[in-house]
Structure formats: C-alpha cells, structure tokens
Amino acid sequence: MVYSWFVTLKEGEHVEWTFVLVPIVGMLVAIVAILAEHREKMAMIERGLNPKDLKPPALPQDLLKGSLVLAGMGVGLLLTQLVGRVTPWLLLPAFLFVGIGGGLVASFFLTRSMS
C-alpha cells in the first residue's frame, strides 16, 4: 500500500493524472501572466511612461469586496460539509476562508474609522 496525504492506494492502483496536471497547468498560467505583465511594463518604460502613474489607487471598497468573497466561500464550504457530509477535509479551508475574510472585514472597518 502507498500512503499519501489525500488517498491510500492499493497495489495496482494509480493516481489520476488530474492531481498532477492541474497544479502544473496552474503554475504555467501564473508564469505566463507574470511574463506578460513584465513585458507590458518594459514596453511602457521604453515609451517613456511610468507604470506606477497609470495604476489606479486601491480603494477601501476593494478590500471589503475581497473579504466578503472569501468569507462567502468559507461559509459555502461549511454549508457543503454540514448539508452534504462530503469530507472532513473541507473544514480546514472553510475555516481559513472565514477567518481571513473576517480579518479583512475588520481591517476595512478599522482603516475606515482611522481616516
């Protein structure tokens, strides 16, 4: 038997290629996105533009939107676990998303009250 963090394999069984291909494709997409952003900035510098001048400033509402999305994902995973009894492994990311989202909501209200 082969033990792994997500599945126990018996003799003759194999890991599906999905578990291998999805992270590889994700990393390739991230690398291509980083290279495209770098090329765009270099082209702007060659034309005499400052890339930082064209970037809009971050708004506090963006922080609130992101935090509510994360908290909503966590609540969705919690409800999936409670209603469907899918797997206990969903509890960890659910609590992580709820905790991170709650922290970002708190930071939004703290920064809003300071300014």
- pLDDT for 28 equals 96
Give the Cα separation of 11 and 20 in Å (integer).
20
Asked which of 13-17, 81-85, 87-91, 106-110 is least confident by mean pLDDT, the reply is 13-17
Give the Cα separation of 32 and 39 in Å (integer).
10
**What domain range includes position 40?**
1-55
- pLDDT for 25 equals 92
**For residue range 39-69, what is the model confidence (pLDDT) as tens digits?**
999 999 999 988 888 777 777 777 788 888 8
- pLDDT for 14 equals 61
Q: b/e per residue, 95-105, with b = 16+ CB within 10 A?
A: eebbebbeebb
Same domain, 48 and 23: yes
The number of domains in the chain is 2
**For residue range 13-33, what is the model confidence (pLDDT) as tens digits?**
666 666 778 889 999 999 999
Q: What is the mean pLDDT of the chain?
A: 79
Last residue of a domain, one of 55, 81, 96: 55
Same domain, 61 and 114: yes
Same domain, 115 and 62: yes
